[in-house]
Structure 1
Amino acid sequence: MGVSGFIGSKLTEARQARGIASRKALADMLERAASTVTRWEDGTLSPEPSALDDICRVLALPADFFLSERTAASGTQFFRSYASALKSDRAMQGARLLWLMDLAEVAEHYAYLPDVRITRPFAVGGHRALRDEDIEDIAGQVRSDWGVGLKPIVDLLPQMERSGIVIAAETMETVKLDGLSAWDERSGRPFVLLANDKQSYARRQFDAAHELGHIVLHRGLSEEDLVSDFDMIEDQAHKFASALLLPAVQYCLELTDLSLWGLERLKSRWRVSIKAQIMRLRQLNILDREAATKLFKGYSARGYARGEPYDDVWKLQQPSLLADTFNAITGEGGISRQELLANLPFKAHDAESLAVLPSGWFSRSTGHVVQLRDFRPREPGHGRP
């Protein structure tokens, strides 16, 4: 008899999250017929207890994962990716983004996450009606809401986390994906998953700003909109990121030298790559096509495509909201790490990866409460109490 309450869609999700591209591949790993796995996933058949044990072993997940409905309701997922990115890679990271939503839900059971404070643009006609000047204005409004004025945003991730955005960063094992984002429409909270592969400080800044662009500009878009208008939507997020990180008025005031050296100097202040600066200057019509091409040729000749100045100096920034929350829950909150883990829908290694916690964090003791000695000077004649 099959296990009661088994959810076939969760098996599909788990298979994708583990990067197993096909049902046939999973069937081979489980030593079952492909047709059996197909029926498990489409919900016409539930696995027997021994088969569920095998599924849990192969996919490294607890049985509860397959027996619990998800409460999060992901909106359209936006991928910062190359057109050649494999469908299986997108599916894998899309499933990981859902797991990030699950993780945040458990965190919010114990603690308050920052309230969501995201600028909501008003545009008659939706994303198709957005003009370049609208995107510049919206990026400026985000800066105003954050109180950062026109100064450089040296580290964007903490600013986004303070605005209620939950961010994770993982190795995606592909250079064709830079990140993805979506709203959880149930909780009304946005989520971002960034790639650690071949990253630099400046590139992470831009990738995060790009996903923020989707969060701000494209909430409520359908999958059909994304497919039909993919290039437009990606271009809008790109322009938003440029406008947010390099506000036109202040950046142009500081632009005194249109050479690679001059852009390198500005990179050290604005934390935006030389390549992204060239593209921004082209967008603002400060560089014409010929001048931009000349700079890009010099860029390639110096080997900057393999690494720009400062890329090997600046430490890659990481999100910290969930890690800080879990540390507070198991510290000041008095909840044991094992109790916290028991309430998660997956095993420790997935939670540690998504929360950017050290490997083995859940297996470590939270320590003991101790009373410190009082080393303050005592009055003469007063010994040890």
Structure 2
Amino acid sequence: MFYGEKLKALRELNGLSRKELAGKINVTEQAVWQFENQYTAPKFEIVNELKKYFSVKSQFFYTDSFVENVTDIERIAYRAEDRDSRKKAKMEITYINFISHFISKFETPLTLPSQNIHSLRKDIEKCLYDRSFAISKKDIERAASIARKKLGVSENKELLYRLELSGIYILEKSMGLSIDAYSTWTNKDIPFIILGTEKKSSVRRNFDLAHELGHLLMHKHIDMDSLDKKELRRVEHEANDFASYFLLPKDEFIKNFQELSKKSNPDSYIELKMKYHISIQALEYRAYKLNLLSFEENRYFYSALNRMKYKVIEPLDEDIPIVRPGKVRALLSLILENNLLSLDQFLDTYSIDSTFLESLLGIDEDVLKEYKGISKLDYFDRRVITML
């Protein structure tokens, strides 16, 4: 029996409309609709085209679905301008459903160390308890201070590592130019941050991470899909404020900023950028909001920023290395290197190719090649392994 829901899941996972998929396999859009709704089954030749395009085995389409819905559009925190694309939303929901299932399977033979993201979220919720929909900046700054301390972030360059250590799963995937990142809690209370793979400086990615952390800690119980544009902008501003307060703690930043010789000269911020791993624009904005610059100095700064062409590329953007997520790759390598899982058996169980898994996890091509042909060892006891 051909399971049309699995074809639909693959199509949405790859961000394709029925019309786009039809063009790739040389059938009509109506035919794709019929396949997905199981009114007709595709011929062998079409199944062969589907398996090659999606990097799965033919049997994939003839076995029952293995993924379950663990998130929905209400839970996903997109940037406001990204909310209009329903196709993108379906793509990311399907992606989270797939990735959540596979990660849970990878973790099965392990006993994981304690993680503090859930207790941190509860602390933040207590901090913001009984507030109106619009959270005050004072409350956000307090929440950011609590989060930075509990996560143990002493330097911003270690932010991604600290977030992964806390229990957040961070992955990279291609999402086009319009989406920098998004975050979500699944209905199993697992937090994800997904970063776009479009070229972006390390410091701007750092801000994205802090922004999404703000969403995870402050906006878990908000129905993101029901908000109008004004409300979405307000929620985004709250996450931006959280990121600014989190990455640039007030007292320390004021002390460092006061050492600058020319506050309105963008080049004066280069040392601060290296120290905080934050863009020059974000540094100046934080200083201006703290009344460390006058209105005239702020205007002169942005005039100079445009004149120096720093709006797109700043000094050090190409020198500070981009830190890539490592937790999921480390998890997979750990279970494969310790023979806690047979890669061949795993791929056969799900009727997928290794390239499918590599693409889904955002790991380099052919990274799984060395683990093929290795049998799984059996253990009577679960193993406690420190992940990071």
Q: Tell me the TM-score normalised to structure 1 length.
A: 0.82
Indicate yes or no: 2:140 matched with 1:135: yes
Show the 5 A alignment for 1:100-111: 100-111=99-110
Q: Shift of residue 55 of structure 1?
A: 3.2
In structure 2, the partner of 1:362 is: 368
Report 1:52-71 matches (<5 A). Answer: 52-62=47-57, 63-64=59-60, 67-71=64-68
In structure 1, the partner of 2:386 is none
Does the CA contact (< 8 Å) of 2:109 and 2:340 recur in 1? no
**1:377 match:** none
Find the structure with the greater CA-based Rg: 1
Q: Is the 8 A contact 2:172 2:325 kept in 1?
A: yes
CA distance in 2, matches of 1:126, 1:74: 26
CA-CA distance at 1:87 after TM superposition: 4.8
Is 1:295 the counterpart of 2:289? The answer is no
Inter-partner Cα distance in structure 1 for 2:319 and 2:109? 38
CA contact (8 A) 1:331 1:366 kept: no
| Cα deviations by residue, 1:241-287 (Å, 9 ceiling, x for unpaired) | 11111111211111122232332111111111101112222333433
Q: Does the alignment pair 1:181 with 2:183?
A: yes
Kindly indicate whether residue 343 of structure 2 is the aligned counterpart of residue 337 of structure 1: yes
Matching residue's letter, 2:170: I
Stretch of structure 1 that moved more, 307-316 or 116-125:
116-125
1:23 equivalent in structure 2: 18
Q: In 2 relative to 1, CA 344–311 (structure 1 residues): closer, same or farther, beyond 3 Å?
A: farther
Q: Which residue in the other structure is 1:244 paired with?
A: 246
Look up the SS of the partner of 1:137 in the other structure: helix
Structure 1 residue matching 2:193: 3-state secondary structure: strand
Taking structure 1 as reference, are residues 195 and 126 closer, same or farther at Cα in structure 2, changes over 3 Å only?
farther
Please say if residues 248 and 276 of structure 2, whose CA atoms lie closer than 8 Å, have aligned partners that are also in contact. yes
Report the Cα offset of residue 366 of structure 1: 7.2
> Secondary structure, in 3 states, of the residue corresponding to 1:154?
helix
Once the 2 structures are TM-superposed, how far is the Cα of residue 299 of structure 1 from its aligned partner?
1.4
Matched position secondary structure for 2:321: coil
Partner residue of 2:8? Answer: 12
Please tell me whether the aligned partners of residues 81 and 178 of structure 1 are also in contact (alpha carbons under 8 angstroms). no
Unaligned runs of 5+ in 1: 369-385
One of 298, 307, 332 as aligned partner of 2:313: 307
Q: Which amino acid aligns with 1:29?
A: K
SS in 1 for 2:171: strand
The AA in structure 1 aligned to 2:142 is D
Tell me which residue corresponds to 1:154: 157
Rounded Cα–Cα distance in structure 2 between residues aligned with 1:353 and 1:114: 27
Q: Which runs of 5+ in 2 are unaligned?
A: 375-388
Q: Structure 1 pair 181/108, CA: closer, same or farther in 2 (3 Å)?
A: same
User: Greater CA deviation, 135-144 or 72-81?
Assistant: 72-81
Aligned length: 359
Mapped contact 1:226–1:233 kept (Cα < 8 A) = no
Comparing 290-299 and 117-126, the one that deviates more: 117-126
CA contact (8 A) 1:281 1:287 kept: yes
- Classify 1:342/1:293 alpha carbon distance in 2 versus 1 (closer, same or farther; 3 Å): farther
Shift of 1:184: 1.4
Distance 1:107 1:292, change over 3 A: farther
1:32 pairs with one of 27, 45, 69:
27
Match of 2:235 among 220, 230, 233: 233
Q: 2: distance between equivalents of 1:280 and 1:13?
A: 43
Q: What residue is the counterpart of 1:145 in the other structure? A: 150
Q: Structure 1 126/181 Cα, relative in aligned 2: closer, same or farther at 3 Å?
A: farther
Aligned to 1:96: 95
Select the structure with the greater relative contact order (CA < 8 A; seq sep ≥ 6): 2
SS at match of 2:12: helix
C-alpha distance 114-125 of structure 1, shift in aligned 2 (>3 A): same
CA distance in 2: counterparts of 1:338 and 1:326, whole angstroms: 14
Structure 1 match to 2:76: 77
